A and B are shown apart, each in its own frame.
Chain A
Amino acid sequence: MGANTENTIEKNSRTNIGSIIRSNTVVMLFVLAGVIVIFTAINPSFLTTQNIINILNASVIIGLLSIGQTFLIIAGHIDLSCGSIAALSGAIMAYIMRETGIAWPTAFLLAFLFAVLVGIINAVLVNVFELQPFIATLAMMSVCKGATYLLCEGKAIQIADKAFLKISAISLAYIPLPVIIMVVMFLVFGFILARTVFGRMVYMIGGNVSAARLAGIKPKRVSTILYIISAGASAVAGALYCSRMFSALPGAASGAEFDAITAVVLGGVAFIGGKGNMAGCFVGLIIIQFFSNGLVLSNMDAFWQVIAKGLLLIAALVFDFVRRKRFESRL
């Protein structure tokens, strides 16, 4: 092979047009544009700075959950318990604060550690007892939900710590602190996924777990870390939720895992693993939030909104399927 061809191969490897065409983040940006145009046409107040900030603020909980789901789904796993872990850790935090009166950082740390423990249990169920991730975390979801109701005794636990309540009220340059926290977490975890050895391992175990193992990657260790990340991010989400609501609610973040997974799949993360990225997930998140907000502004009945969201998830999954089929038929 001459030096000439080698140079062409190098040049082609740099530009890498194929992967840009293949990635569907671009497609999703068009979908997003479509959503914006339609809802702005229905209600002009949709596209105002204030409304956009409101939308971003409302997406924080789901956004934080979707970070963990992006990692897990790319690795071929899933965590259905993330929403209820958020609710439970929020309740634990509020409970500790009410019972002991300690300041929020300590209470948060304890709740966070508890969430990590739940993440480890999820990982043990999946890796040691070899349960399907879907089943194991579905069971965990139920356990955490029940525990939250027990802890709250069915009522809200009020929070008195002023410093804590302020967190969700502070804005920097008009941008609420929770939004900043979310964006920073997206950037940090996006970097980890895209650029680090750990992130690469996530893709490899999701793409072909046996091949990854034979190449020296430890799939169980990687997925254990992912369940912990998911649970930890859920604890942060739970705390922000409490700060916003001035209390821990037994039904907090219910169904949030559903929205998070919808965002991830909309963002082009393949459900069978190995494919996707954090930017796509963020776009998916924005689409689903714009969509829900648009429905509210269009005065659509709340129950119809639930149906519409379900349809959106179906559409995302069908899209995922069609993309795969097209890819396979080319081979």
Chain B
Amino acid sequence: MARYGMVIDTKRCVGCADCVVACKTENNVPDGYCRDWIVEDVRGNYPELHMEIRSERCNHCENAPCVRCCPTGASYTDEDYGVVLVDHDLCTGCKACIASCPYDARYVHPEGYVDKCTFCMHRVREGLQPACVEVCPTKCMHFGDLDDPHSEVSKLIRSRPNHALIPEAGTKPKIYYLL
């Protein structure tokens, strides 16, 4: 099994939200919901401030609580790409997975099933990049196999300081933010 993940360069991201719009268009995300979003994180004491702009989404965690708690197996980790997906046909809309996600990355689709970022698997399987990665005007997002030491994502993680989100929640997130 490959282990697909993302690396996002916070030094390049300008928070234009093109990725958000691209995702909504590509995946027909209903009004009032989103699969990715922009966070502007400001820390420090004025005037010594550090600002990080992040494009966030489901982290496709390796130790995914949403997969573990799902009573029907609707939430599962894809065997070929190591991506966390929801089988709409199996989903009861019990919302356990929503409660279990420390990143609040899931929502109930108006049709009743739970939905979230899929890393655009329908595109990836065709050899394309996820829509958000493709559209980013600053080219700050990178997508690839974290298990392949020669992949762009692996090289970036090795060469630049980075962090993942809420690692202390123990979910082993697979999106890395370059500092």
Do A and B pair up? The answer is no
Interface residues of A (CB under 8 A from B): none
Interface residues of B (CB under 8 A from A): none
